[in-house]
């Protein structure tokens, strides 16, 4: 197999910019709606939503690689960073390192990437790891770095990275390209195009012993923020994790050629889907604030508890919809009381009802069209 980095024109990626032009325009147009909706929140709501969104991204970018971080520890650390709590609980190294990276990314997205900053990111991500030879530096092991699947006796090689000896020069070229393609650089590129190439280019070099996918996605997030002029809060990793198989398939196809139209198309649509997801969460939070303002003093403790549970489920809603039986489990009430509480919430405009008898379900009435 000849990989993309072995092609004679590497790393001169080829693509049709006209195919991406409508998607680039959509990014600018729809990101305006996201930032506009976000501006309708007060300062406390903005900070809380920022913690929620970037915390979820941290969890999901790790989960894509099969690492499951502790949500409570990560959120606690983020709340502390944003001055929303005085909680001083001890945070495990993996969660603390991930928070350190995403805070650096959020607060310093305009700063150019350098070898030293990438090494620092790697050190943050690998905090507490004892099974790696190189932490905070590029790989030096001469053994081939491969992505494989299947049985040990018949492995399928999905990708093989450049030898370690080539990594320093490859990374020097990568950082040079990144600096030249910035919006104010010598050869600026449209935002989606630059982010998609940056992700693929970096993950192809695979400069670290571990953590390359997470850092590639962090670089893509930084490029998106630079193109839009502010932290994006786009749910990129959240969206990728939901369709992880498609992500790895797109990468595998792109690893074999320097013609990358399919990869850039996949990546651009994924970013736009992530943008829609983030905007839905902002609108959802605005709807939540308005609903609670309207119903202040009108809810009993059981109704308040049920609504809080529904809001925790997010814009996607309660799995299967909320039933009277679900409400009983949440609030500890009787069947008659649960039914009465839910009917009252429908009458107050907090919930909408669908179905009849045992198929009756309730959903929040906070999203557009409800």
pLDDT in tens, 47-72: 888 888 899 999 999 999 999 999 88
* Three-class secondary structure of residue 363 per DSSP: strand
Burial class of residue 123 in the structure, from the number of CB atoms within 10 Å of its CB (0-12 exposed, 13-18 middle, 19+ buried): middle
The pLDDT score that the predictor gives to residue 288 is 87
* 176 or 370, which is more confident: 176
The pLDDT score that the predictor gives to residue 148 is 84
The pLDDT score that the predictor gives to residue 284 is 86
Weakest-pLDDT range from 120-129, 168-177, 357-366: 357-366
The pLDDT score that the predictor gives to residue 246 is 96
Kindly report the pTM of this predicted structure: 0.87
- Extract the tokens encoding 306: 């049920």
Is the distance from CB of 333 to CB of 293 less than 8 angstroms? no
- Average pLDDT value for residue range 338-351: 94
Instruction: Name the percent of the chain lying above pLDDT 70.
Output: 98
The pLDDT score that the predictor gives to residue 216 is 97
Weakest-pLDDT range from 240-244, 274-278, 286-290: 286-290
The pLDDT score that the predictor gives to residue 82 is 85
Which distant-in-sequence residues (6+ apart) come within 8 Å of 180 by Cβ? 186, 187
The pLDDT score that the predictor gives to residue 367 is 59
**What is the rounded distance in angstroms from the CA atom of residue 237 to the CA atom of residue 218?**
9
- Average pLDDT value for residue range 237-244: 94
Task: Spell out the domains of the chain, with CATH numbers in brackets.
Answer: 4-283 (1.10.3290.10), 295-364 (1.10.10.10)
- Average pLDDT value for residue range 308-331: 87
**What is the rounded distance in angstroms from the CA atom of residue 80 to the CA atom of residue 98?**
14
Q: How far is CA 253 from CA 135, 136, 157, 317, in A?
A: 29, 30, 13, 35
Q: What is the DSSP letter of 4?
A: G
Weakest-pLDDT range from 81-85, 201-205, 308-312: 81-85
- Average pLDDT value for residue range 194-204: 98
| Positive or negative torsion for Cα 36, 42, 46, 49 | negative
pLDDT exceeds 50 at position 30 = yes
Q: What is the pLDDT of residues 95-143, one digit of tens each?
A: 999 999 999 999 999 999 999 999 999 999 999 888 888 899 999 998 8
Burial 329-360 (b: 16+ CB within 10 A, else e): ebbebeeebbbebbeebeeeebbebeeeeeeb
Instruction: Name the percent of the chain lying above pLDDT 90.
Output: 68
**What is the rounded distance in angstroms from the CA atom of residue 241 to the CA atom of residue 232?**
18
**What is the rounded distance in angstroms from the CA atom of residue 230 to the CA atom of residue 232?**
6
The pLDDT score that the predictor gives to residue 370 is 43
The pLDDT score that the predictor gives to residue 52 is 85
Q: What is the DSSP letter of 82?
A: T
Chain mean position to CA 291: 28
Helix axis angle for 301-312 and 324-331, nearest 10°, is: 110
Query: 364 has which bridge partners?
Result: 351
**What is the rounded distance in angstroms from the CA atom of residue 61 to the CA atom of residue 321?**
28
- Average pLDDT value for residue range 319-336: 90
Q: How far is CA 162 from CA 92, 219, 341, 352, in A?
A: 33, 20, 63, 56
The chain-wide mean pLDDT, for the chain, equals 91
- Average pLDDT value for residue range 289-297: 90
pLDDT exceeds 50 at position 224 = yes
- Average pLDDT value for residue range 162-189: 97
Q: CB pairs under 8 A, 24+ apart, for 44-48?
A: 45/285, 45/289, 47/82, 47/83, 47/84, 48/84
Is the distance from CB of 285 to CB of 51 less than 8 angstroms? no
The pLDDT score that the predictor gives to residue 122 is 97
pLDDT exceeds 70 at position 369 = no
The pLDDT score that the predictor gives to residue 102 is 94
């Amino acid at each position: 197999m000849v990989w993309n980095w072995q092609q004679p024109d590497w790393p001169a990626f080829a693509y049709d910019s006209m195919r991406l032009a409508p998607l680039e325009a959509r990014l600018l147009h729809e990101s305006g709606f996201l930032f506009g909706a976000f501006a309708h929140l007060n300062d406390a709501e903005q900070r809380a939503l920022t913690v929620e969104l970037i915390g979820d991204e941290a969890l999901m970018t790790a989960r894509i690689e099969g690492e499951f971080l502790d949500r409570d520890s990560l959120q606690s650390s983020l709340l502390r960073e944003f001055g929303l709590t005085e909680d001083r609980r001890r945070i495990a190294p993996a969660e603390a390192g991930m928070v350190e990276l995403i805070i650096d990314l959020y607060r310093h997205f305009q700063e150019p990437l350098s070898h030293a900053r990438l090494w620092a990111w790697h050190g943050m991500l690998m905090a507490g790891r004892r099974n790696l030879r190189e932490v905070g530096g590029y790989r030096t092991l001469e053994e081939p770095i491969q992505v494989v699947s299947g049985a040990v006796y018949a492995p399928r090689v999905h990708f093989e990275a450049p030898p370690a000896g080539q990594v320093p020069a490859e990374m020097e070229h990568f950082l040079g390209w990144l600096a030249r393609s910035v919006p104010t650089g010598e050869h600026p590129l449209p935002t989606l195009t630059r982010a998609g190439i940056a992700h693929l280019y970096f993950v192809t070099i695979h400069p670290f012993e571990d953590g390359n996918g997470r850092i590639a996605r962090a670089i893509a997030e930084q490029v998106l923020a630079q193109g839009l002029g502010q932290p994006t809060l786009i749910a990129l990793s959240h969206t990728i994790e939901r369709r992880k198989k498609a992500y790895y398939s797109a990468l595998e196809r792109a690893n074999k050629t320097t013609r990358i139209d399919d990869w850039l198309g996949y990546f651009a649509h994924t970013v736009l889907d992530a943008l829609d997801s983030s905007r839905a969460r902002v609108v959802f939070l605005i709807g939540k604030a308005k609903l609670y303002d309207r119903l202040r003093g009108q809810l009993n403790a059981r109704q308040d508890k049920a609504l809080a549970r529904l809001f925790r489920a997010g814009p996607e809603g309660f799995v299967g919809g909320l039933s009277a039986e679900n409400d009983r489990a949440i609030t500890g009430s009787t069947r008659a009381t649960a039914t009465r509480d839910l009917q009252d919430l429908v009458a107050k405009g907090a919930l909408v009802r669908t179905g009849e008898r045992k198929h009756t379900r309730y959903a929040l009435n906070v999203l557009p069209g409800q």
